[in-house]
Amino acid sequence: MLVYIAGAGAMGCRFGYQLSKTENEVILLDNWSAHIEAIRQDGLLITGDVEDRVQLPIMLPTEATRQADLIILLTKADQLPKMLQDIKPIIGKETKVLSLLNGLGHATTMRRFVPEENIMVGVTIWLAGLKGPGHAHLEGTGSISLQDLTGQVAAVAPIVEMFNQAGLKAQYDENVIQAIWQKACVNGTMNPTCTILDCTIGELFGTESGLNLVQGIFKEFIAVAKAEVGNIDEEGIWKYIMDASKKAASHYPSMHQDLVQHGRKTEIDFLNGAVVFKGKRVGIPTPYCQMVTDMIHTKESILGLR
Ligand code: NAD
């Protein structure tokens, strides 16, 4: 298969690196010039659980010309429309396109560029970081759940198999929307709160008032999720959040890293902001999500990111 990784940042480098160890052809697409230059000159440096350096082709999205068998989307959420616009020439009639971004609403964006029968959505709990241009740091283990929108399980089987050959532990999930909401609940409860409060996940969950905040946001996510997708495992998702908070107690969540540590725009509009938007459509009040979205937007404006 010819596989493009559209957005070769932290996660794109993990996926590109691991998939490059299979018999498939992998091409990275990115527009960060220092990163492109470093990978072209010295290869992609991998540290962490494995130490390696691999030669991987990398180019601007607009430089790619060969139609893809598979495109894996791994930009940040607000960067997705521009990426899809730029890769239109490599999206053929048979090209499958998979989103593994965090957050809600990506299938709607994809429908503007990709035929319904070629869209796949998923969620991953793999982690990755970038230490600098051309240098990805990979630690821990994870998995991928994915589904295609028209239920062509057999057509997607070779893609699931490819991920498993790469050690990425994928499974076809007939109810992936539940997994997407679950991950959004984790991110939506921890990310904006720890970012606004400048605290670790353990510090947030370790106070009664912090836990109240988390519960307030969680109930809004669940109410809107139920309105949108029907049955949702509220108890299971709450348990998942509590388990995740214990495992990652000493960590600052990714939104804190983006906004506070690196001064980058966040994915709030695709988490709590999306819940506010969807809640309005179905008449569900979402004051906690509105408040944290406004606070993150304000900080982004102060930093000149909006
Ligand atoms: P990142 O910022 O490291 O990578 C995004 C990359 O996309 C960047 O290198 C950027 O230059 C590139 N890009 C964006 N728009 C582009 C465009 N129009 N043209 C070319 N290149 C473009 O982000 P990440 O941490 O890899 O996260 C990607 C997605 O995966 C996010 O939705 C994130 O929430 C999710 N995610 C991340 C992790 C993690 O551990 N990093 C874990 C799970 C999920």
- Mutate-to-test residue for ligand 1 from 74, 145, 251, highest number of ligand atoms within 8 A of CB: 74
Q: What domains are there in the chain, each with its CATH number?
A: 2-173 (3.40.50.720), 177-302 (1.10.1040.10)
Count the neighbouring beta carbons within 10 Å of the beta carbon of residue 40: 14
- The 3-class SS string of 152-202 reads CHHHHHHHHHHHHHCCCCEEECCCHHHHHHHHHHHHHHHHHHHHHHCCCHH
In short, whether 189's Cβ falls inside 6 Å of ligand 1 is no
- Rounded to whole angstroms, the Cα distance separating 173 from 145 reads 6
Give me the DSSP letters along 42-54. H-EEEEESS-EEE
Burial category of 284 from C-beta neighbours within 10 Å (exposed 0-12, middle 13-18, buried 19 and up): middle
Burial category of 249 from C-beta neighbours within 10 Å (exposed 0-12, middle 13-18, buried 19 and up): middle
> Which ligand 1 atom is nearest residue 60's CA?
20
Alpha carbon of 14 to ligand 1 centroid (Å): 11
In short, whether 247's Cβ falls inside 6 Å of ligand 1 is no
Quick one: pLDDT at residue 231?
Answer: 87
What residues contact 221, with CB distance under 8 A and at least 6 apart?
181, 184, 185, 188, 189, 275, 289
246 carries an active-site annotation: no
- Rounded to whole angstroms, the Cα distance separating 289 from 227 reads 16
Q: Which residue has the tokens 């999500």?
A: 289
- Rounded to whole angstroms, the Cα distance separating 152 from 86 reads 27
Query: ∠201-206-209 over CA atoms, to 5°?
Result: 100
Quick one: pLDDT at residue 92?
Answer: 97
* pLDDT averages per 10-residue partition of the chain, 306 residues: 98 98 98 98 98 98 98 98 98 97 98 97 97 97 97 94 98 96 98 98 98 98 96 95 96 96 97 98 98 98 97
